[in-house]
Chains A and B, each alone.
Chain A
Amino acid sequence: MANVIYGVNGPVVTVKEATEFSMMEMVYVGKERLVGEVIGITSAYTTIQCYEETTGLMPGDPVEGTHTRMNLLLGPGILDNIFDGIERPLAQIEKECGAFINRGSTVSPLDTEKEWDVTITVKVGDELKGGMIYATTPETHIITHKMMVPPTLSGKVVEVKPDGKYKLHDTIVKIEDSFGEIHELSLCQRWPIRTPRPVKERLTPTVPLITGQRVIDTLFPVSKGGTAAIPGGFGTGKTMTQHQLAKWCDADIIVYVGCGERGNEMSQVLQEFSELIDPKSGHPMTDRTTLIANTSNMPVAAREASIYTGITLAEYYRDMGYDVAIMADSTSRWAEALREISGRLEEMPAEEGFPAYLPSRLSEFYERAGRADVLSGTQGSVTIIGAVSPQGSDFSEPVTQNTKRFTRCFWALDKSLAYARHYPAINWNDSYSEYFTDLDSWYEENCGKEFIEYRGRISALLQEENRLMEIVKLIGSDVLPDDQKLIIEIAKIIRVGFLQQNAFHKDDTYVPLEKQKRMMQVILHLYDRAKLVVAENIPISRIREQGLFEKVTKIKYDIPNDHLEMFDDYIKDIDDKIQAILH
């Protein structure tokens, strides 16, 4: 008996008395063949969540099983592309049905007609294990796509096609497994989105993800293969921070997931990234980027899937040996999609209406980050940077709290900083990074011991300022002794001249580590010298008159990234002027 729809409630569709469906199986619903996934089975009903609008479905419409789990097509063509939450190519859909998305689209996720320049790297007789590379092709100007044996397969190569131009589904290698069965390998493979791709061994993340953002690289670094959360109410600059990281961080591949966010923002990403030239490679940013756009008005179930789609794509490139960073903006929308579907299923809600399995789903997701020895014999990493949009800007709500448990870096965005247009509005008192100990040896090796020392002093000064501000709020700054006034002045320089960074300034948008170090050096040098003045009981205003505070605050604009020798003049200038005051 054919399976037919029994009930419809929002994105949830039920089928009565069906027996052949399995959990998480992908199904086609209705005459328009909308994509859905089985999320619950009882002897009486099978429950399906539908990834497209269910308007117009009626009881009696067919439901067709596929006998596979919800999966992705993985192969060349993923980069420089934009997909919806279930890997449908939006540019292709636009060609097919115009500016508004129709339902039941059946376009292949990847271009099946394009011919790729394939180099085959194995020969007949080679033993191939799951995850090993058998062919490569230049996917974009900077990224070589490596075709890997599906992790579940292994065997001996029995047939190899010559190097040349092949389409996505062309068979290029055949292997024979231990049961004597022949498997054809093409340029692509499939993988279920909710299952992590296997690795050989997980490694400790010891290399930082360099972002060029001072407050992150210096005070709260994240490692390659680490996890970071960016919580912040609306208007605090979550998306802006994510964009900056996607543009400048030194990962090889960026997967940007716009999960339940604004359509205009996605079109901005599309436009900006294609115009931006990566300074390291000289090619557009889109060459290393893939976008997943499931805007807030696209179906809610696909929003839930988009996070998994993103992480699966990231893992696929990690397996080739790349460092991948995935930006998920925003995981709260994903959690809300879980809540919405859970509500439709009439499950018993836990905190704030979120389902009881929210923490386990969050931890499953963040656990897919990491640096690892991958099956293809090299190393790769997946770094997850998840934005969190706390309801009512209240960090005690369940999504923020649970995310905090599973991420090791917490960049708390602050409304009052954002109001003062201090961007990135990362609050230095509430944020933390647990990666310091893992990364210290890298910093020591690459930036010198001083870097760690400077960082320690900078954060100590900020702490001290925080304490002093409590007093200032009560009685004003005039009554403080001069040595404490000096701390407040220096901390102000750190805040305005160092932590604050202008994303629209050509030099300030990305600052190399060396310049970050020299900036800290000059600020601390000024502090040390000025302390001498204070010790002589000369009023601080004498230093202010010399314009030193202002001058150091504006270093970020005045010294271009490629003229770091100018820092020496600053040190000399500070010495001269302080000397003049002392005598």
Chain B
Amino acid sequence: MIIEYVGVSEINGSLIVLDGVKGASYEEIVTIKLADGSARQGRIVQIEGERIVVQVFEGTSNISLDNTATILTGRPMEMPLSPEIVGRILDGAGRPIDGLGPIYPETRRDINGTAINPVSRVYPRNYINTGISSIDTLSTLIRGQKLPIFSGSGMKHNELAVQIVRQAKITGADESNFGVVFAAMGVKNDVAEYFRRSFEEAGVMQHVTMLLNLSNDPIIERTLTPRCALTIAEYLAFELNMHILVIMTDMTSYAEALREFSSSKGEIPGRKGFPGYLYSDLASMYERAGMIKGSTGSVTQIPILTMPNDDITHPVPDLTGYITEGQIVLDRALQAQGIYPPVNVLPSLSRLMKDGIGEGFTRADHAPLSNQLFASYAKVIDARSLASVIGEEELSDTDKKYIEFGRQFENTFVNQGFTENRSIDQSLDLGWKLLSTLPREELDRVDDEMLDKFYQAT
């Protein structure tokens, strides 16, 4: 027998409170039927005896104290999954919106997933060639990694993400087994459209599953979108052995939705009003990247987040940086100079890079070269700050060479066309060419043998 609980006893933001409910379980999904015949879904977020707090995904507008009938479904939030999900467009809660009908599930999965046993993880070491010099050489993307793009409003993170998807090359037998899951959270309609069009133009649309929660869609649904996306990704990767790249944009909107939910629930706020569990919450998504034993597939994540006021110490980029394995930081000053992609290489980092490059993966000189580029470019910054005080003319000869090196590095190495796909050899050789403009004794991160081979004095 299905019990309908009529009416609610409290409404607060996206939350409703019901009394006298028996047999409710934590995080269970409920269906709320409205008097006008429409139905909404919600999730139980707190239980106190017979009093339950329900989060309504579609929002509480039009709900009054007595116009609802609530039914417990007895199940946590699940995602219907089948191989046919590839190529579909879904809404933020995972329901098809492309007019191609419902998904006939082969299986269902709890969208919260379960933690991967650290023992069962396979340490990722196969690199993905993105064809972008600043990433391939200096912050190499590894299959199974989570590498966010830290950006700001108005910067070209979307273009960069599209370029990565278009150019990302998985070599070997798995080549055709590549797929993209794209989750949009609170992005504008034209941004979502830009991604869709770009995927189509790149001819990858049949491998892409899109989940769209646009900026005018319900906030609470936004907190589900990345989880639905990752559930799809895990299914495709670990059961169908595909290599899945998950792009999630924009994580800042997600975190703000979580804050809104938390504050309407009356929780004690932490930093900048975000709930104290923001770290655990973000981790429960980011940690779903990886590779596991017993499957040849992989989940690689590129979350995109906009730093409010370009502040990297804001809680969202800060906590993200502590969880993800590195970050790619975009820089407004570089963009203003017309450099694309505006990757600021110094704070950018890929933690998994060291084991996925070098002999057998890229080239033996890769690690020393990237170390040296970082070290030399750091000196460029010192020289520039000195030049801003005493003027470029007054600098020592070495410092002048650094200034010139910095200019070349930004204009020819970091800067590359939106459609320019550089092979790893091209990128590395370009790096050596730039380093050769510096005096040989300045290159202290490379041993002599390597220098003899690659340093070409001019």
Contact = CB atoms under 8 A, between A and B. Distances in A.
A7 B121 contact: no
B164 interface: no
Contact of A267 (B115, B123, B371, B395): B123
A265 B325 CA distance: 9
Most buried by B among A337, A340, A496: A340
B119 A234 contact: no
Contact of A477 (B110, B120, B396): B396
A271 B294 CA distance: 17
Given A297-B116, A420-B378, A421-B371, 6 more contacts: A99-B295, A101-B115, A264-B123, A267-B119, A504-B354, A554-B447
Contacts of B447: 554, 557
Interface in B104-151: 110, 112-124, 144-145
Interface string A28-67: 0000000000000000000000000111111110000000
Given A353-B268, A353-B271, A476 B276 contact: no
B347 interface: yes
A179 interface: no
A121 B126 CA distance: 52
A298 B119 CA distance: 13
Given A296-B283, A297-B288, A419-B347, A54 B26 contact: yes
Contacts of B286: 296-297
A197 interface: no
Interface in A443-496: 472-478, 496
Most buried by A among B113, B277, B293: B277
B355 A268 contact: yes
B351 to A, nearest CB: 8
A376 interface: no
Contact of B293 (A99, A337, A391): A99
B441 interface: yes
Contacts, number: 231
B369 to A, nearest CB: 12
Interface in A526-545: none
B47 to A, nearest CB: 5
Contacts of B279: 260, 296, 333, 336
B269 to A, nearest CB: 7
B287 interface: yes
Interface string B178-200: 00000000000000000000000
B28 interface: yes
A576 interface: no
A6 B46 CA distance: 11
23 contacts: A55-B76, A55-B112, A57-B47, A58-B24, A59-B24, A98-B117, A98-B120, A100-B114, A234-B327, A260-B283, A264-B289, A266-B118, A270-B119, A295-B283, A297-B284, A336-B280, A343-B275, A349-B268, A392-B318, A416-B378, A473-B386, A476-B399, A504-B354
Nearest to B445: A421
Nearest to B262: A343
A389 interface: yes
Interface stretch (A86-94, A149-157, A246-254, A509-517): A86-94
B9 interface: no
Interface string B284-326: 1011111011110000000000000000011100110111011
Interface stretch (A8-16, A198-206, A316-324): A8-16
Contacts of B394: 476, 478
Contact of A59 (B49, B76, B284, B292): B49
Interface of A: 6-10, 14, 16, 53-60, 82, 90-91, 93-94, 98-102, 233-235, 258, 260, 262-268, 270-271, 293, 295-298, 300, 333, 336-337, 339-340, 342-343, 346, 349, 352-353, 389, 391-394, 415-416, 419-422, 472-478, 496, 504, 547, 550, 553-554, 557
A429 to B, nearest CB: 16
A140 to B, nearest CB: 18
Contacts of A415: 347
Most buried by A among B283, B284, B385: B283
Contact of B116 (A99, A550, A553): A99
Interface in B14-66: 23-28, 46-50
A297 B447 CA distance: 41
Contacts of B112: 53, 55
Contact of A296 (B124, B323, B390): B323
Contact of B117 (A99, A268, A547, A557): A99
B457 interface: no
Nearest to B276: A343
Counting from the closest, the 3 A-B pairs by CB-CB distance are A296-B283, A392-B313, A420-B378
Nearest to A475: B390
Most buried by A among B119, B292, B395: B119
A422 B378 CA distance: 10
B374 interface: yes
Given A8-B26, A9-B46, A55-B76, A262 B117 contact: no
B270 interface: yes
Interface residues of B, number: 86
A264 B290 contact: yes
Most buried by A among B326, B327, B378, B447: B378
A119 to B, nearest CB: 32
A353 B25 contact: no
Contacts of B351: 235, 265
Contacts of A9: 46-47
B257 interface: no
Nearest to A503: B354
B389 interface: yes
Given A16-B49, A234-B322, A58 B118 contact: no
Contacts of B287: 262-263, 295-297
B364 interface: no
Nearest to B329: A235
A357 to B, nearest CB: 15
Contacts of B110: 55
Nearest to B323: A296
B175 to A, nearest CB: 24
A207 B293 CA distance: 43
B120 A94 contact: yes
B361 to A, nearest CB: 14
Contact of A90 (B27, B118, B268, B269): B118
Given A58-B25, A268-B355, A340 B280 contact: yes
B323 A262 contact: yes
A56 B270 contact: no
Contacts of A233: 321
B334 interface: no
Contacts of A422: 375
Contacts of A82: 118-119
B352 interface: yes
A6 B441 contact: no
Given A55-B76, A296-B279, A343-B275, A94 B119 contact: yes
Given A55-B26, A264-B123, A353-B276, A235 B47 contact: no
Contacts of B23: 58, 60
Contacts of A343: 267-268, 270, 275-277
B347 A235 contact: yes
Interface in B362-381: 367, 371, 374-375, 378-379
B118 A270 contact: yes
Contacts of B113: 100
Nearest to B321: A234
B144 A264 contact: yes
A373 to B, nearest CB: 37
Contact of B280 (A59, A258, A296, A504): A296
A270 B319 CA distance: 25
